[in-house]
Amino acid sequence: MQKNIIVSCVMIATLLTACNNTSVDNTSTTNDQIELYHAFGNEKHLLVEGRTVNKSSESIVSENDSGYTNAWNALNFFQNDELKNKKVFLTIDKEKYETQSDNEGYFSFNTTLSKVHTMSYTHISLQIKNNKNSHNAQATILSSQKEMIGIISDIDDTVVVSDVPHKTELLLNTFWKNYKQREVIPTMVERFQKILAANPPTQPSRLFFISGSPKQLYSPIEKFLTYNHFPKHILILKQTHGKDKDSLSDQLAYKTKKIEALIDLYPHMKWIMFGDSGEKDLETYEGIKEKYPDKIKAYYIRNVNSKEITRIE
C-alpha cells in the first residue's frame, strides 16, 4: 500500500512539473539542445520530430535499483526546460530546411525533399540558430514503390508488461521499475525477427512502434527496446502538450491517424500489426483492416488476461 501511495504521488508531481516547468529563452552555444524523437520517410518525403530543450542528465540505472530510486529518476524525464520558439535547421545531403519550435519546444519537419533519396539509413544534421553544435543522427529512408513487409506494434502489454487496465499496477510498472527491470512479453522479439527476415537483409528495418505513452518517456522506452534486443525500429509516441498535441483520451483516433500516415507514406507496404486487448488496439486494427483490406496481411492481439496471442486475418 505504501508503495502505491508513493508512486501515485510521484505521478501527480510529474504531471504538475510537466505542465508548469519554466521556459528558457536563451540558447547556449556549447550544448546540444535537441532531443530527436524520430526521422523517417520515403524517396521524396521526410518526417522528423523533436524538441528544443535544456536536457537534464539521465542517471545510470541497474537491475538492483530500488523503487524509490526509480520513481525519483523518472521525474527527470519530465523536468527539462523547453527552449521555445527557436529556429531549427535540418540538413540532409547538403540540402537545408528550416522550421521553428513551438512554445513548448516541439518541432517537426514534414518535408518534400528536393532530391530523390535511395533506401538507406541516411545521415541528417539538426541545429538551433545561434548554437554552433549539431545534433547528428540517421533517418530511415524506405521505398514507396517496392512491395515489402512492415510491422506496426503497440508497446504496453504488447511487448512489455504494463497492466494498463489496472491503473495502480500501471503506475508501479512505469515509475517503480527502470527499463532493465521491466518484463518483456515472451516470443515478441523472435516474432518480429522472423517477419522482418522476409525482407532483404541489407535494407533498413520496417518495424514501427506506435504507443500512447507521452514523448517525455521516449528515452526509457527506447532503452527498454534496445536492452531487450528488439530489431532496429522507429518509435512514435504521443505529444501531450504544445501546438500540435495529440488527443489524451481518444486512443482509437490517435492510433488510426498514425497508422494511416504510414500507409500513405508507403503505399506498397504490406503490414502486420500487433496489439493487445487492453486499450482499443482490436477496434483500431479492425477499422484499418476494413478500410485498407489489401494493405493489411494480418494482425495479432494479445489477451491481457489469458496472455494468449491470437492471429486475425
> Looking at residues 138-147, what average pLDDT do you find?
95
Mean pLDDT (the chain) is 89
| pLDDT higher than threshold 90 for residue 117 | yes
Kindly report, residue by residue over 83-111, the tens digit of the pLDDT: 999 999 999 999 999 999 999 999 999 99
DSSP 249: S
**Band of residue 79 on the pLDDT scale cut at 50, 70, 90:** confident
> Looking at residues 295-300, what average pLDDT do you find?
98
Burial classification of residue 9, based on how many CB atoms lie within 10 Å of its CB (0-12 exposed, 13-18 middle, 19 or more buried): exposed
Return the percentage of the chain with pLDDT > 90, whole number: 76
Lateral strand order in the sheet of 296-302: 234-238, 207-214, 148-153, 269-276, 296-302, 309-312
**Nearest by Cα to 138 from 119, 116, 114:** 119
**How high is the pLDDT of residue 74?**
85
Q: Which residue has the higher pLDDT, 200 or 55?
A: 200
Where is 69: in which H helix or E strand? helix 67-76
Asked whether 214 and 241 are in contact (CB, 8 A), the reply is: no
Q: State the architecture of 2-141 in CATH terms.
A: Sandwich (2.60)
**How high is the pLDDT of residue 7?**
43
**How high is the pLDDT of residue 2?**
41
**How high is the pLDDT of residue 24?**
37
Kindly report, residue by residue over 183-203, the tens digit of the pLDDT: 999 999 999 999 999 999 889
For the chain, the structural domain boundaries read 2-141, 148-312
Asked whether 226 and 181 are in contact (CB, 8 A), the reply is: no
Domains 2-141 and 148-312 share a fold: no
**Band of residue 80 on the pLDDT scale cut at 50, 70, 90:** confident
* pTM assigned to the model: 0.89
| pLDDT higher than threshold 70 for residue 16 | no
**How high is the pLDDT of residue 126?**
98
**How high is the pLDDT of residue 10?**
45
148-312: CATH class: alpha beta
Kindly report, residue by residue over 229-267, the tens digit of the pLDDT: 999 999 999 998 888 888 877 899 999 999 999 999 999
Q: Which residue has the higher pLDDT, 177 or 5?
A: 177
**How high is the pLDDT of residue 242?**
83
